[in-house]
Amino acid sequence: MCFFSEVCRLLMFFSGRFSLVTDLRFGMRGLTNYCLSCCVNTLLQTFSATWELADLLDKWEAAGVRAASSNVPLQLKKVLADMKSDLPQPAPHHDFLHCLDRNCLRLYVQHDADEVFLSILNLIQQQMDDKNLALEIHNLYKICVETYLQCLECSSVQTHTSYLLSLPLHIKEDRNSLEGCMASFFEHQELRGIDCCFCEQCGTKTPSKQGVKLLSLPRILCVHLKRFRNSHGYTRKLDCRVTFPETFDIFEILKGAFSPDFVQNDCKYTLHAVVVHSGTAMFGHYTAYVRRWVNKRWYYANDSSVKQVSWEEVKTSYGGHYRPTAYMLMYRRDSREQEQQPEFSS
């Protein structure tokens, strides 16, 4: 992955277009590609665009934390603060990368962005000594779901409550839309024949249907577009097109996907970050589009290089053969609370 990014960097340099660009007015800084760090660099840009996370970390008094060099939330707090400053050079993040390395997210290794994202959130839970704040961070991304299994003979239902920190969506090998992928995730499946499940009420295996219902939605909805397929020991990437909107109302997309216990009223979401993957499953590079809260403008972060872009350019990550493809989408739930979010000063 580092080789891929270095080739791109050299091509830009020799064409006269290489630059370490940062939008200093709004605290948008790049990050050096260090030891195959493009995956982490990209996630840091999405975390930086999630002001709710930085705000919670700022409230944490971490003076007494032991083994500070190995504490992921402490190092994340530091690097997010550095990313908001107005210095022209890329933000220093070597300490954060080495901290991840000490927590088994190794340097010089190609990582999957969704796996690293989930690992960072879990390490925050484990390593923050303020468990209430750790829970608030966890809840920023927490999607509560109810899985159910209904017997088609007696109609009895078994349910189980669990949660997700990102919504994993299967995509088809042609054309897709985010709305269609989400609807497919919540469609029920019928289990018959050898797939029949045991029904306690009937006392035997019976045909049944299973599915997932939403119990609650988070402030930050992270969507994982599952573009990688494993078969016969080989991993390949699906470059097929997946369209996604800048804003959507989840009630309009997922009618019938809500549990009777679902009580939220406002479920309108606005996109604020896109994790983009270029290349193949074994030879690729991560970049990010992020929408800054302060000026509502989109930026493209490619390691050290940061530039302002339009929504039309963000849509080029829908995908297609030999094109960069959106891999993770970060949506923020709209609410009146956002009107009170202070503008960050450099």
Q: Residue 264 has what pLDDT?
A: 84
Q: What is the mean pLDDT of residues 30-49?
A: 97
- Strand bridging mode 167-170 / 143-151: unpaired
Q: Minimum mean pLDDT among 18-22, 48-52, 323-327: which range?
A: 18-22
Q: What is the mean pLDDT of residues 2-24?
A: 41
Q: Minimum mean pLDDT among 144-148, 189-193, 197-201, 335-339: which range?
A: 335-339
Q: What is the mean pLDDT of residues 301-330?
A: 95
What is the C-alpha separation between 28 and 288, in angstroms, rounded?
A: 12
- pLDDT category of residue 147 using cuts at 50, 70 and 90: very high
Q: What count of Cα atoms within 13 Å lies in the side-chain half-sphere of residue 166?
A: 22
What is the C-alpha separation between 112 and 40, in angstroms, rounded?
A: 10
The residue among 252, 254, 247, 253 whose CA lies nearest residue 269 is: 247
3-state SS string for the chain? CHHHHHHHHHHHHHCCCCCCCCEHHHCECCCCCCCCCHHHHHHHHHHHHCHHHHHHHHCCCCCCCCCHHHCHHHHHHHHHHHHCCCCCCCCCCHHHHHHHHHCCCCCCCCCCHHHHHHHHHHHHHHHCCCHHHHHHHHHHHCEEEEEEEEECCCCCEEEEEEEECCEEEECCCCEEEHHHHHHHHCCCEEECHHHCEEECCCCEEECEEEEEEEEECCCEEEEEEECEEEECCEEEECCCEEECCCEEEHHHHCCCCECCCCCCCCCEEEEEEEEEEEECCCCEEEEEEEECCCCCCEEEEECCEEEEECHHHHHHHHCCCCCCEEEEEEEEECCHHHHHCCCCCC
Q: Minimum mean pLDDT among 75-79, 86-90, 143-147, 155-159: which range?
A: 86-90
What is the residue extent of each domain of the chain? 21-336
- pLDDT category of residue 143 using cuts at 50, 70 and 90: very high
Q: Residue 27 has what pLDDT?
A: 60
Q: Is the pLDDT of residue 12 over 50?
A: no
- pLDDT category of residue 337 using cuts at 50, 70 and 90: very low
What is the C-alpha separation between 151 and 156, in angstroms, rounded?
A: 5
- CB contact set of 296 (below 8 Å; sequence gap of 6+): none
User: CB count, 10 Å around CB of 106?
Assistant: 12
Q: Residue 26 has what pLDDT?
A: 54
Enter the tokens of residue 103. Answer: 């927590």
User: CB count, 10 Å around CB of 243?
Assistant: 15
Tens of pLDDT, residue by residue over 273-309, are 999 999 998 889 999 999 998 888 999 999 999 999 9
Q: What is the mean pLDDT of residues 86-115?
A: 94
CA 97 to chain centre: 18
Q: Is the pLDDT of residue 102 over 70?
A: yes
Q: Residue 13 has what pLDDT?
A: 33
The residue among 154, 98, 116 whose CA lies nearest residue 40 is: 116
Q: Residue 194 has what pLDDT?
A: 95
Enter the tokens of residue 211. Answer: 């599915």
Q: Is the pLDDT of residue 336 over 80?
A: no
Q: Residue 6 has what pLDDT?
A: 45
The residue among 307, 268, 267, 269 whose CA lies nearest residue 290 is: 307
- Strand bridging mode 298-302 / 305-309: antiparallel
- pLDDT category of residue 335 using cuts at 50, 70 and 90: low
% residues pLDDT > 70 (the chain): 88
Distances (CA, A) of 260 to 30, 148, 188: 45, 13, 16
* Residue with the larger pLDDT of the pair 44 and 17: 44
With beta carbons less than 8 A apart as the criterion, state whether 220 and 141 touch.
yes
Q: Is the pLDDT of residue 4 over 60?
A: no
Across the chain, what does the average pLDDT equal? 88
Tens of pLDDT, residue by residue over 243-256, are 999 999 999 999 88
Amino acid at 147: T
| Fold that domain 21-336 belongs to in CATH | Cathepsin B; Chain A (3.90.70)
Q: What is the mean pLDDT of residues 82-86?
A: 87
With beta carbons less than 8 A apart as the criterion, state whether 290 and 49 touch.
yes
Q: Minimum mean pLDDT among 9-23, 32-46, 171-185: which range?
A: 9-23
Q: Residue 16 has what pLDDT?
A: 32
Q: Is the pLDDT of residue 11 over 50?
A: no
* Residue with the larger pLDDT of the pair 12 and 287: 287
